[in-house]
Amino acid sequence: MDVGVSIPPERDAGSLPRRNGPDPDPQRHFAITDRQDYADASAFTHAIRNTLQQLPVNERDVLIYVHGYNNTFVDGLFRVAQMQTDFELPGIAVHYSWPSAANPLGYTYDRDSVLYSRDGLEQMLRTVSAANPRKIVLVGHSLGTMLVMETMRQIEIASPGWTDRHIGGVVLVAPDLDVDLFNAQSQRFTTLPDPFVIFTSSRDRALQLSRRLNGSVSRLGGLQDAEAIGDLPVTLVDVSEFASGVGIDHFTPGTSLLLIQLLQKSVELQESFDGDRAGRSGLLPGTVITAQQATQIILSPLLLTQSMPKLSP
Note the pLDDT tens digit of each residue in 252-294. Answer: 888 888 777 666 655 445 544 444 444 444 456 667 888 899 9
Low-confidence ranges of the chain (pLDDT < 50): 267-268, 271-282, 309-313
Q: Full-prediction pTM beyond 0.85?
A: yes
Q: What confidence score (pLDDT) does residue 150 get?
A: 98
* Per-residue pLDDT tens over the stretch 90-122: 899 999 999 999 998 899 999 999 999 999 999
| Closest C-alpha among 170, 174, 7 to residue 81 | 7
* Angstrom distance (rounded) from CA 121 to CA 95: 10
- At residue 277, the pLDDT reads 42
The C-alpha atoms of residue 9 and residue 3 are separated, in whole angstroms, by 19
**Cα 300 from chain centroid?**
21
273, 195 Cβ separation under 8 angstroms: yes
Q: What is the pLDDT of residue 305?
A: 55
User: What's residue 258's pLDDT?
Assistant: 75
The span from the CA of 174 to the CA of 195, in Å, is: 17
Cis amide prior to 193 (ω within 30 degrees): no
What is the rounded distance in angstroms from the CA atom of residue 116 to the CA atom of residue 102?
16
Spatial separation of the C-alpha atoms in residues 112 and 85, rounded to whole Å = 32
- CA 61 vs. chain centroid, Å, equals 15
pLDDT at 253: 86
Question: Is residue 106 packed enough to be buried (19+ CB in 10 Å), middle (13-18) or exposed (0-12)?
Answer: middle
- Full DSSP string of 65-90: EE--TT--HHHHHHHHHHHHHHTT--
- Which residues touch 40 (CB under 8 Å, ≥6 apart)? none
Distance CA 208, CA 276 (A): 34
- CA–CA separation, 26 and 8 (whole Å): 6
Rounded Cα distance, 307 and 313, in Å: 13
211: Cα within 13 Å, side-chain hemisphere: 17
d(CA 153, CA 160): 9
Phi/psi at 57 (nearest 5 deg)?
Answer: -55, -40
Alpha-carbon gap, residue 195 to 171, rounded angstroms: 8
Phi, psi for 29 (deg, rounded to 5): -130, 150
